[in-house]
Amino acid sequence: MPLISNLKGRIVFNSRGNQTVEVDVVSDGRYIGRACAPSGASVGKHEAQSFPQNDPKKAIQTFRSHSHKFIGAEASDPKAIFEILKSIDQTPSYTIIGGSIAYALSIAAVDSASKALDVPLAKVLRKDKPYKNPFPLGNILGGGAHAGPGTPDIQEILVCPIGAGDIMQALQMNFKVHSELRKVLENVDSSFTYGRGDEGAWAPRTNNDKAVELAEQSIKNSGFTVGREVGLGIDFASSSLWNSDKLCYEYKRQHLSRDTEEQIEYVNSLIQKYNLIYVEDPVHEEDFQSMTEITKKNEKCIVTGDDMLVTNKERVIEASKYGACSGAILKVNQAGALYDAILFAQECDRNNLKLITSHRSGESVDSHTSHIAIATQSRMIKSGIVGGERISKLNELLRLAEYDLIDGMADLSS
Ligand code: PGA
Ligand code: ZN
């Protein structure tokens, strides 16, 4: 099995032009694996800390002073890398070495192993079949922390090509709806600039309610039936809306606020009206009770925790005491190391939570996320919609579908 023989860390830039860290791991003297840490804009309170003292340079310095400890480790074994990381940094949120180094190092190691073993990374992580293709959740219209003033408070309006028979068709359907939406937006606002948010979603000047209506229209204009061929979803990212002093959700761009009861009613009414198949963080990250209410009332909708669960096994255990979620976002960098995320995925499986593997809004052109989605048997994958750093992951799904290891699309229903 491949053993780590060399490591290198450097500062590079992410898709927002901000500094981040990248790590190279070399196995057996010649197989180079590389990974670059992503970063979020709507960051959960319980996520791993990205950099020690919020400084990428400090992260690289700390990494360099400890990198020799990884020499000789088994590159294909995320647990082995995790244990060395934990011997350096025992803090629960990686405040000493930083979650970004934990991310980049642990993924670069398996990337290097995949090259040494000459198999896709997905196969290094999961030996037993079946492997299914996750459905791409396409972010077609956005606002919140991903876009500027005038756009909706809601962070993401998503489409899922639930009627697609394969990944090529699935991606084509999402792109069709995204481009159809541009025409819909032009029709309602002749001054629409084609502006897009961090993940490639259109960022128009419109309010929340109108935005969902226009998204639905774009599905219909594409020739699809909402809820049959293409489902609609919403990521409220509502921790960003929550005002903990006033105890209400502030939709500042629409000049209105909702207390908890009103927020639950609003979410339920949107789920019913648009037959939503997916909602994410409809209430703030600490409100397990309200989340449970929404989950219990809407059995057909995947009610997903992102900031609520932060890819943290303990949070899944806590949420599952209530039955708070039916879906769970997996973002490796929320947890830190790849093995943290694997433990999280296993806990989600035990509690029947559907996994959705996700990129971050600040990304690189890496495509490891697609392999991780397949290896964790995720039902869906979030990778924005267009732009090089989004497409790199979606195109990787097409390449992976060429391998005989993939057998059809994931099952969204059971
Ligand atoms: P982030 O948001 O990557 O900006 O945190 C993505 C999401 O909330 O799903
Ligand atoms: Zn989210």
Residue 306 banded pLDDT, cuts 50, 70, 90: very high
* Ligand 1 mutation pick, 16, 306, 355, max ligand atoms within 8 A of CB: 306
Is residue 58 pLDDT above 90, yes or no? yes
Ligand 1 atom showing the smallest separation from residue 41 Cα: 4
Percent above pLDDT 70 for the chain: 100
pTM for this predicted structure: 0.98
Q: What gap in Å lies between CA 166 and CA 169, rounded to an integer?
A: 5
Residue 235: CB within 6 Å of ligand 1? yes
Q: How far does Cα 214 stand from its chain's mean position?
A: 24
Q: Is the CB of 41 within 6 Å of ligand 1?
A: yes
| Of the candidates 14, 9, 70, the residue with the CA atom closest to the CA atom of residue 37 | 14
85 lines ligand 1 (CB under 6 A): no
Q: What is the pLDDT of residues 196-234, one digit of tens each?
A: 999 999 999 999 999 999 999 999 999 999 999 999 999
Active-site choice (115, 123, 313, 331): 331
Angle between helices 338-350 and 313-322 (to 10 degrees): 20
Any ligand 1 atom below 6 A from CB of 44: no
Distance from the Cα of residue 331 to its chain's centroid: 5
**Looking at the CA of 199, which ligand is closest?**
1
Local confidence band at 141 (pLDDT 50, 70, 90 cut-offs):
very high
Nearest to 15 by CA among 333, 392, 380, 332: 392
Query: Residue 127: what pLDDT?
Result: 80
Q: Cβ(49) to ligand 1 under 6 A?
A: no
**pLDDT score for 140:** 98
Task: Report pLDDT for 246.
Answer: 98
Tell me if residue 331 is catalytic: yes
Q: How far away, in angstroms, is 68 Cα from ligand 2 center?
A: 36
* pLDDT tier at 130, thresholds 50, 70, 90: confident
> Is the confidence at residue 388, as pLDDT, over 90?
yes
Average pLDDT, the chain: 97
pLDDT at site 208 = 98
Q: If you measure from the C-alpha of residue 382 to the centroid of ligand 2, how many angstroms do you get, rounded to a whole number?
A: 10
What beta strand segments (E) does 92-235 contain?
Answer: 131-133, 135-142, 156-160, 231-235
Ligand 1 atom nearest residue 359's Cα? 3
**Could you read off the pLDDT of 152-206 as tens digits, one per residue?**
999 999 999 999 999 999 999 999 999 999 999 999 999 999 999 999 999 999 9
The predicted pLDDT at position 148 comes to 94
Q: Which atom of ligand 1 is nearest to 329's Cα?
A: 9
Whether 286 sits among the annotated catalytic residues: the reply is no
Q: Which of 53-67, 122-136, 240-254, 382-396 comes out lowest in average pLDDT? A: 122-136
Q: Which ligand is nearest to the CA of 14?
A: 1
* Beta bridge pairs of residue 111: none
Band of residue 281 on the pLDDT scale cut at 50, 70, 90 = very high
* Atom of ligand 1 at shortest range from CA of 281: 8
What's at 30, amino acid-wise? R
Please work out whether the CB of residue 139 comes within 6 Å of at least one atom of ligand 1: no
Rounded average pLDDT over 353-364: 98
Helix (H, G, I), strand (E, B) or coil at 305: strand
Centroid of ligand 2 to alpha carbon of 234 (angstroms): 9
Name the residue among 94, 337, 350, 336 with its Cα closest to residue 328. Answer: 350
